[in-house]
Amino acid sequence: MLDKKNFYINGQWTKPNSSEEIKVIDPATEENCAVISLGNQKDVDAAVGAAKKAFETWAFSSKEERISLLEKLYELYKKRWADIAEAITMEMGAPKDFSTKLQAGTGAAHIKSFIRYLKNFEFEKPLGEHAPNQRILYEPKGVCTLITPWNWPMNQVCLKVIPALASGCTMILKPSELAPLSSMILAELIDEVKFPAGVFNLVNGDGATTGNALTAHPDVNMISFTGSTRAGALISQNAAKDFKRVSLELGGKGANIIFKDADPEAIERGALRCFRNSGQSCNAPTRMLVEKSMYNEAVEILKKYAENFEVGDPKKEGEHIGPVISETQYNKIQTLIQKGIDEGAKLVAGGVGKPDGLEKGYFVKPTVFVDVNNNMEVARTEIFGPVLSVMPFENEEEAIKIANDTPYGLTNYIQTQDPEKVKRVARKLRSGMVDVNGAGIAVDAPFGGYKHSGIGREAGELGLEEFLEVKAVGGWN
């Protein structure tokens, strides 16, 4: 049985140097479900040292070798799919069906997608017909620190680990200390595949000690981080000292623009996307902008929808949401809901406190504020809970202005049956992604944002290129 206190360093599970430990809490029961160690500087040095040594040969491995190993990993992942889903349900409270289909499912989808892109990627190509002796080489960036969040654990881990492996980088993964268990299963799979020792390393820990040691380490060449904007700024400061490459996927406060010609399901679909995963998605449409001619109707639909939206035990089957990740997160959400009430937003569903019958666990009521203005804190802060802010708009120009009036720029949403309006509005929205009429963003589409939502892109070809340096060579005959 896997000892969850151990780290995976240099191709083997090893006991940490650190004696400091932390409990992993099941957010549905508020009870301990595992104990992990928190890595210290010596643990980080060991992992980085192993990655640095492995890079000397792994950087020059053939594309065919990397494809073969990733294909084996994909087959093993499918065999452990249910175990991964169960771990995610336990560590972060995602309901069983949602955890199986989407949480674990996105990890598998990314592995499959990156294999396809790796097969077609040219690591050496001519500059052009005009310069026959000029070559462009794509080479791995080196030793990478990968720091991932708790809200979509396998999705975010596979968006980093798989392209890093595919590109020829070596890495140290630090998953969130709140939800590390699914990542440890992935480490078991990588070990079973027999990637060369030191290529992949896993060190558990917190941000202040382990994360800081990893991002400041002089032998780390790249940092890929997903998490809060505040932490992203601190990591950027660490990286700037020796010009590490940085890729950041940070917060969001997406606007969902509902025009009067939206399809009949648009309002409920928007609320579902806000509440899904208990509101713990950086790309959630948490600001709903509704054209005034249908505003009152939309408010009634949302009130009824939220009041009937089920919150319950994540271990049972069905369509519902579970708890939020922790007591700290629960308290933050409660404070922001109360702030919305104090600022004068009209509460039509949900509110402070836990749903009826759920006194244990970090469960939050699906909450809807209406008559919100964009200066209120509930409209400006990433709440990261099932809280929707609704506001009216007069016309297309005002909707765009409200949508863009935010420090974030990750994902915005448009609901209209007018294809020309879609093109006009999508062009003017300052965000890395725009979802139209519930079409969704493809698994291999570039994921990332503008402004405070981050730097760089994940998934697909651009996600692979994030881990590659570009070298120009003249006189290549």
Q: Cite the active site residues.
A: 249, 282
Closest CA to 337 of 285, 394, 279: 279
Residue 393 near residue 290, CB atoms below 8 Å = yes
Closest CA to 26 of 304, 388, 325: 325
Write 353-360 long-range contacts (CB < 8 A, 24+).
355/311, 358/311, 358/312, 360/29, 360/30
The Cα–Cα gap between 278 and 428 comes to: 30
Helices (H), 59-211: 63-79, 81-92, 96-98, 104-120, 153-167, 181-193
Residue 125 near residue 206, CB atoms below 8 Å = no
Cα angle at 19 between 16 and 22, to 5 degrees? 95
Burial 113-139 (b: 16+ CB within 10 A, else e): bbbebbeebeeeeeeeeeeeeebbebb
In the numeric block, the tokens 């035990």 are attached to: 313
